[in-house]
Structure 1
Amino acid sequence: MGDPLLERTRRLLTDYLTFCAREPGTPEPPPGSTEAALLRSVAGEVQENYQEFFSSFLGYQGNRLELVTRMVDVVLSDTINWGRLVLVLTFAGTLLKQGPCKATKQKRRGRGNQSQVTRDCQLIVDFLCSRILGQHRSWLEAQDGWHFSLLGSLQAPGFSAGPESLV
């Protein structure tokens, strides 16, 4: 028998990061679950509220996995909460997004960059599943997993998922 929490985590992260990694102009795929819809919505709000921070990473062409690893090492090294977790997921999603200018250049050069984004998406999903469940499984289980707690916590007054939530 498989690990239900791992499977649920993998589905949620794949849904969100694939949504972020799609080519500009591609229709939004419907979210795969209530949690996925909520994550997309909350991450969108976080991105909008901290546009200056996130916009500097839009269309990132470097080693995305390395940058996500460094962010996770800083943000989730000691304490985890929903704000920190959503911040990391929003950051990872931002790295996979290709802005309109990047997409135009990419189409001229072929589809190599999009295939790299797709590979990076899978590598980041694998890494995040491993790290989140490896270091923070007991916390996630104490929150009743993604569904119930994610819904309640992210809609709670005072929820914060920006860079200031690190302090």
Structure 2
Amino acid sequence: MADALRERTARLLTDYLEYCAREPGTPARAPSTPEAAVLRSVAAQVQQRHERFLSDYRGYGGNRVELVAQVEREILAHPQPLSWGRVVALLTFAGTLLERSPSGTYSNLGPDQELELGEWEAGVRQDCRHLVDFLCNRLTGQHRAWLEAHDGWDGFCLFFTPMLPSSWKRLLAQALLSCFTAVILIYFWKRLL
């Protein structure tokens, strides 16, 4: 029997980590799911807020999976309650490790270094798959009960998405005020007749 939460988690992680691992300047594919769109948006805000810290990890050449495992143990530790914010922090960090340096950085490389760059890019693709597996196993294994208690990825979307977009709020307020005004006008019109 298929595990819907695991499949959805794997799809979300694959979408986000491949989005992060794309070459600089390459147009991003559209998010594959609503939760992927929300994650990209929230992660971009986290990256913007913590640019100084995260920039040190762009183009990371070490063992990305091991580093994410260490960070996961710290961020999602048992004594501290799990939260969507902690999940986003972990996923943002993992995505940052896969980000490539700006394309201009590699323009003056020699032939030996270009081979290293090619190997590095192959390593990014491989680590992307390994990180999807690792994070999917942790989120749908050790943290499954928490995910299910918080409505899974639907709960994630609800947590980070306002109930109504601001344009809808304005439209709703205008409609309610119009109705209220119409009721008052009808009331006074009937009193005058």
TM over 0.5: yes
In the alignment, does 2:144 pair up with 1:137? yes
Summarize the Cα distance change of 1:102–1:74 in structure 2 as closer, same or farther, 3 Å threshold: farther
In the alignment, does 2:30 pair up with 1:15? no
How big is the alpha-carbon RMSD for the aligned residues of Structure 1 and Structure 2?
1.9
Partner of 2:114: 109
Partner of 2:180: none
Residue of structure 1 aligned with 2:135, choices 106, 128, 133: 128
**How far apart are the structure 2 equivalents of 1:92 and 1:139?**
21
> Once the 2 structures are TM-superposed, how far is the Cα of residue 35 of structure 1 from its aligned partner?
0.7
State the TM-score, normalized to the length of structure 2: 0.76
Identity %: 49
> Once the 2 structures are TM-superposed, how far is the Cα of residue 99 of structure 1 from its aligned partner?
1.3
Residue of structure 2 aligned with 1:87, choices 79, 86, 89: 89
Q: Indicate if the aligned counterparts of 1:59 and 1:102 stay in contact, CA closer than 8 A.
A: no
**How far apart are the structure 2 equivalents of 1:113 and 1:98?**
10
> Once the 2 structures are TM-superposed, how far is the Cα of residue 24 of structure 1 from its aligned partner?
1.3
Amino acid at match of 2:101: G
Q: How does 1:13-162 map to 2 (within 5 A)?
A: 13-78=13-78, 79-100=81-102, 101-104=104-107, 105=109, 109-110=114-115, 111-147=118-154, 149-155=155-161
Q: Indicate if the aligned counterparts of 1:23 and 1:103 stay in contact, CA closer than 8 A.
A: no
Amino acid at match of 1:11: R
**How far apart are the structure 1 equivalents of 2:38 and 2:76?**
21
Amino acid at match of 2:126: R
Q: Indicate if the aligned counterparts of 2:16 and 2:40 stay in contact, CA closer than 8 A.
A: yes
State the TM-score, normalized to the length of structure 1: 0.87
For these two proteins, the number of residue pairs brought into alignment is 156
**How far apart are the structure 1 equivalents of 2:84 and 2:152?**
11
Q: Indicate if the aligned counterparts of 1:10 and 1:125 stay in contact, CA closer than 8 A.
A: yes
Structure 2 residue ranges without an equivalent (≥5) = 163-193
Structure 1 residue ranges without an equivalent (≥5) = 157-167
**How far apart are the structure 2 equivalents of 1:21 and 1:75?**
22
State the 4+ residue runs in structure 1 displaced beyond 6 angstroms.
none
Amino acid at match of 1:49: R
**How far apart are the structure 1 equivalents of 2:110 and 2:28?**
20
Amino acid at match of 1:51: E
